[in-house]
Structure 1
Amino acid sequence: MTIQKICILGAGTLGSRVAIQSAISGYEVSVYDIHEEALDFGFKTMKKILAQLEKGQLLKEPQEKILSRIYFTTAPEKAIQDADFVNESVTEDVEIKKKVWKQFGEIAPQKTIFTTNTSYLLPSMFAEESGRPEKFCAFHFHDVFYSRIVDTMPHPGTEPELIPLLEELGRKLNQVPILVKKENPGYIFNTMLLALIGAAGKLLTGEVGSVEDIDRSWMVNFHMPMGPFGILDSIGLDTAWHVTKNRKDSASQAFAALLKTYIDAGKLGEKTGEGFYKYPHPAYKAPNFIK
């Protein structure tokens, strides 16, 4: 099968990045969201990314030509029309994802491959709702531009023939494909990352250290540009909360409660201008932060 048209469900931070990288790679792209405001956010995110890439002389085509390959819509039927491949990046909630996949499973062309970009849930949790579980797989992007890993994680009912096709697509999208051999919450990297975030959250809620000192300790010891809380801001505190609240241990529940206070205040991290730090100039990027 040749993939020519890509459909992105969800115009949030990650969905927008996958969409613009797909267009940069030469694919026709439709971007669907239920909110016009989200589509506007997605368009602005894409323009910002293209400007940065153009400044770094990393674009082979003019911005206008790349953007001309992208179609934004709140109409499901228009978004899915003639799509060869779908990648879903909606809220990390099983019931919401089930509803989305049932909806698009009923209107998508028979040729369409379905993939979910879920960060922590398993594809088997909603593969059946799509009506074609054999063509359903997790295809999980990280940052897309800075962290160029894409995880291919099948569920037990995924057709084996789908795996090499997705790995090839990952390379065409300028990503490094990783095969997760069996379902694992958090894939490979996120499993390791969650251990770090969990430890940082426990230190903070236990009043062992401040946000800044926990980050400084990590940054200096491992020669990293940001610490756990800077990472959380880049991921999105809402995404982190959805993952953390589902863990039953007391430390995770305490950290989830703290994250919820930030979310309720509209502080979701870098995408809203404030989380544990304020953006676009977070304190951890200041020269004197680790002095």
Structure 2
Amino acid sequence: MDIQHVCILGAGTLGTRIAFQSALSGFQVKVYDIHEKSFELSKKMIEKIAKSLVSSQIYTAEDIQLALNRLSYTLNDQEAVNQADIISESVTEDIEIKRKVWTRMGEIAPEKTIFTTNTSYLLPSSLASFTGRPEKFCAFHFHDVFYSRVVDIMPHPGTNMELIPILQDFGRRLNQVPVYVRKENHGYIFNAMLLSFLGAAGKLLVNQVATIEDIDLSWKVNFHVPMGPFAILDQIGLDTAWHVTHQLPDANSQAFAALLKTYIDTGKLGEKTGEGFYKYTSK
């Protein structure tokens, strides 16, 4: 299958990054969301990423403009999918919302369309049947896209295995490194390890062992990396982290989820809102 038209469901942090990388890679891209305000935030995010890519001499200003010409936004779901060869879904990490979205996509998407979810925790088998075309459904999970260039391909037992090489090729065309997850697993590969790391940091904070800053400093200095666990959570989005954490049954996860909820309730979702565990400015 020759993928040319890409539909992105959800104009949030990751959906925006996937959309921009898809456009930079030469694909025609339509981004769908139910909130027009999300498009404004998405465009600002792309502008910020573009400046970094140009200053790093990864792309030229002309490359960026050509990519932007291939990318459009719409509040109309039928318009978003009418030519889609593949759908990449990055909506809120809530199973009921995702089920509604995939039920609708199964009703309106062309027969040719490949369905992929970017969920960071849910299993594809929990969503596939709602499309009415479970054989065309697969998890295709991106990370940062520009700096952490891994994409996980995780089928469910009913996935048509002919999709795997198509998705591997598509991933490479997006300048990503595809990894194949042979068996359904919550958190895929990297996120399964990351959850343990972030959960340990959350336990230290909830139990008042150390401050946010000192926990991050300990990790950063020991591993010579620019971010600690709480800065990483800010980048992921505290709302996304809560949706995963509050589903975990152990007491430590529940306590950390309750803490995350206090930030979410005051609009502090992380880098995307300008404040989470840390404050972010234009600089």
TM-score of the superposed pair, with normalisation by structure 2: 0.97
Residue in 1 that maps onto 2:43: 43
Asked if residue 222 in structure 1 is aligned to residue 186 in structure 2, the reply is: no
Asked if residue 98 in structure 1 is aligned to residue 99 in structure 2, the reply is: yes
Where in structure 2 are the equivalents of 1:248-267 lying within 5 Å? 248-267=249-268
For 1:175 and 1:11, locate their aligned partners in 2 and report how far apart those are by CA, in whole Å: 20
Residue in 2 that maps onto 1:13: 13
CA contact (8 A) 1:233 1:268 kept: yes
Where in structure 2 are the equivalents of 1:1-291 lying within 5 Å? 1-60=1-60, 61-280=62-281
**Aligned-partner residue type, residue 39 of structure 1:** F
Higher mean C-alpha displacement, 56-65 vs 100-109:
56-65
Give CA-to-partner distance per residue, 1:48-67, whole Å, 9 cap, x none: 21122112221154422211
**TM-aligned CA deviation for residue 281 of structure 1:** 7.8
Aligned-partner SS, 1:152: strand
Unaligned runs of 5+ in 1: 283-291
For 1:125 and 1:214, locate their aligned partners in 2 and report how far apart those are by CA, in whole Å: 35
**TM-aligned CA deviation for residue 204 of structure 1:** 0.5
**Aligned-partner residue type, residue 50 of structure 2:** L
For 1:90 and 1:237, locate their aligned partners in 2 and report how far apart those are by CA, in whole Å: 15
Give CA-to-partner distance per residue, 1:52-102, whole Å, 9 cap, x none: 211222115442221110121000110001110000000000110000001
CA contact (8 A) 1:88 1:117 kept: yes
**TM-aligned CA deviation for residue 45 of structure 1:** 1.4
Instruction: Give me the CA root mean square deviation.
Output: 1.2
For 1:279 and 1:48, locate their aligned partners in 2 and report how far apart those are by CA, in whole Å: 14
**TM-aligned CA deviation for residue 222 of structure 1:** 1.5
Aligned-partner SS, 1:87: strand
For 1:195 and 1:216, locate their aligned partners in 2 and report how far apart those are by CA, in whole Å: 18
Give CA-to-partner distance per residue, 1:127-177, whole Å, 9 cap, x none: 110111000000000000011110001000001110111011101000011
Q: CA 1:206–1:281 in 2, change beyond 3 Å: closer, same or farther?
A: farther
For 1:62 and 1:224, locate their aligned partners in 2 and report how far apart those are by CA, in whole Å: 30
CA contact (8 A) 2:24 2:64 kept: no
For 1:217 and 1:44, locate their aligned partners in 2 and report how far apart those are by CA, in whole Å: 33
Give CA-to-partner distance per residue, 1:189-211, whole Å, 9 cap, x none: 00000001111111100111111
Higher mean C-alpha displacement, 248-257 vs 56-65:
56-65
Residue in 2 that maps onto 1:286: none
For 2:282 and 2:44, locate their aligned partners in 1 and report how far apart those are by CA, in whole Å: 19
Aligned-partner SS, 1:31: strand
**Aligned-partner residue type, residue 53 of structure 1:** L
**TM-aligned CA deviation for residue 47 of structure 1:** 2.0
CA contact (8 A) 2:24 2:63 kept: no
Unaligned runs of 5+ in 2: none
Alignment length (residue pairs):
282
Give CA-to-partner distance per residue, 1:208-264, whole Å, 9 cap, x none: 111111111111111221111111111111110000000011100000000000001
**Aligned-partner residue type, residue 44 of structure 1:** K
For 2:182 and 2:63, locate their aligned partners in 1 and report how far apart those are by CA, in whole Å: 39
For 1:58 and 1:81, locate their aligned partners in 2 and report how far apart those are by CA, in whole Å: 32
CA contact (8 A) 1:15 1:89 kept: yes
